[in-house]
Amino acid sequence: MVEELLRQHGKPEKEVYFDLENSGLVPQEVVEAMLPYFNKRGYGHPSITHKIGWEAYEVVHTTRELVASTISAPDPENIVFTHSGTEANNLAILGFGLANRNKPGKIIVSAIEHLSVILPAEQLEKIFGFKVMRVPVTEEGFVLPEIFEAYMDKDTVLVSIQAVNHEIGTIEPIEELVKIAKDLNPNVVFHVDAADAYGKLRIDVKKTDIDLLTISSHKILGPKGVGALYVKPGTRIEKVIFGQLSTQSLWPGVENVPAIAGFKKAVELAFKNFDENVAKMRSLRDMLMKGIVDNVTDVLINGPTGDKRAPDNVNIAFLGVEGEALTLEFSLRGIYVSSGSACTSRMLEPSHVLLAIGRRHEEAHGSILFKVSRYHSEEDINYAVEQIPPAVERLRKISAIKNK
């Protein structure tokens, strides 16, 4: 199908990949950091006491040390490796539920959390009798502290709020929300899904008093197959998968050592020249957003603007056209994006995040998510801004939505 479409339309003069929410390129330095651990060194089991096992363990341990240092975690042993951010979220939510199943209380999440938080929380409600409350958000996706406080009480045992929303880039007031929660119940456990914040915002788990925090490798251009969960000392959670233990009790099995080595390099690259990297992404984000808004009529920005938005996130609703049609049209022009929610893009249901901020179904279905990185250039943005208006115009001319 793809080859036939390309034959009909011709090869695009340039390719620009903006689908970094779903996954993306792995820099050459990261690939090179992984390669030795497939067959040169450290290809053994990291818990085995021989040279190759020790080499593997060294990768796991030094990566823990590095990740811990970037979030001010008190001890590298507080970092648990999983195989994805989804697994880390499940370990946080379900692991808490298993540890506290005899005293089920209230769980608070926001209405726009990632499904890997919402769905495990609903399982705890179904199986153990926890009560899950979804806090509504503003039209820009913010959890207002005064609304959160109204939901919070002494029966609340677990809170899970994202640092940054994965679809619309809203930066939540986590420090303020943690303080409200712990003032009302000092024993509450506060989980933060930081998959879309890590490497783009400064995070200090000690200062903010976060109990559990999720990180994902591929969200910082590391390899897929690695996630991490920070667990504050003294936080009661239990493992949710069972098997032969490796170097960590909460996630049994053999660690993905080559991927962890790649994750380590990706962390190094993300935090090297951190401020410059973030400033570049923010500049490209604003350039792309302004270019679309100035050159395409009938568009809506999903989420906030300025410093309250993640530096890499652009989410635009193109009215009068389907998002799936846009992703295909853009693709033929060499621009790669995702429509609606990255996690529901192959389903007919609109994004729960966009519906929660008040978008109508047709607005949600016509929304496109772009994410920029430090590897993009102004030339990439200019090409996208040049190609997007005629693509939207062509589709609007034939769109059934426009003609309704």
Enzyme catalytic residues: 343
Q: What is the token pair recorded at 238? A: 């239990």
Residues 41/51, Cβ–Cβ less than 8 Å:
no
Residues 395/324, Cβ–Cβ less than 8 Å:
no
In terms of C-beta density within 10 A (0-12 exposed, 13-18 middle, 19 or more buried), how is residue 122 classed? middle
Residue 227 half-sphere exposure toward CB, CA atoms < 13 A = 22
Helix (H, G, I), strand (E, B) or coil at 233: coil
Q: Spell out the residues 6+ positions from residue 40 whose beta carbon is closer than 8 angstroms to its own.
A: none
Residue 121 amino acid letter: A
Q: What is the token pair recorded at 138? A: 């503003």
CA distance 262 to 43: 14
Which run of H or E residues covers position 371? Answer: strand 367-371
CA distance 375 to 373: 5
- Per-residue burial over 188-217, b if 16 or more Cβ lie within 10 Å, else e, is bbbbbbbbbbbbbbebebeebebbbbbbbb
Residues 151/135, Cβ–Cβ less than 8 Å:
yes
Q: Tell me, what DSSP letter sits at residue 309?
A: B
